[in-house]
Amino acid sequence: MLIIVCYDVSTETRAGRRRLRRVAKVCESTGQRVQQSVFECQVTLAEFEQLERRLLAEVDLAQDCLRLYRLPETRGTEVREHGKFKAVDFDGPLVL
């Protein structure tokens, strides 16, 4: 399933800046950054649940915001890209 992870972490304190880095690292390990605090991730249901648990362990819900969106499988017709960034096609061939 394709999911979108969005977060807004308060960076007014040193602890907040640390949380921001840790949340970004968790997201980078699972998906691709498409905006400053927005990631696209292609995951299974089990991976989605694990990612959610990992992110919830990093954020401070009294100060931060975390949103996870599950998108329909018809990504090609649901997502319109504009600008120089082009997302990786998770279903296409991967050339290293």
pLDDT value, residue 72: 74
pLDDT value, residue 14: 97
pLDDT value, residue 23: 98
pLDDT value, residue 71: 85
| Inside any domain, residue 82 | no
| Inside any domain, residue 85 | no
CATH of the domain at 22: 3.30.70.240
Count how many domains the chain has. Answer: 1
Cα–chain center distance at 23: 9
| Inside any domain, residue 19 | yes
| Inside any domain, residue 48 | yes
Q: Give Cα separations from 14 to 24, 60, 74, 90 (angstroms).
A: 16, 13, 41, 35
**Is the pTM higher than 0.95?**
no
Is the per-residue pLDDT at 93 higher than 90?
A: no
| Inside any domain, residue 67 | yes
User: 19-74, pLDDT tens digit by residue?
Assistant: 999 999 999 999 999 999 999 999 999 999 999 999 999 999 999 999 999 987 76
| Inside any domain, residue 17 | yes
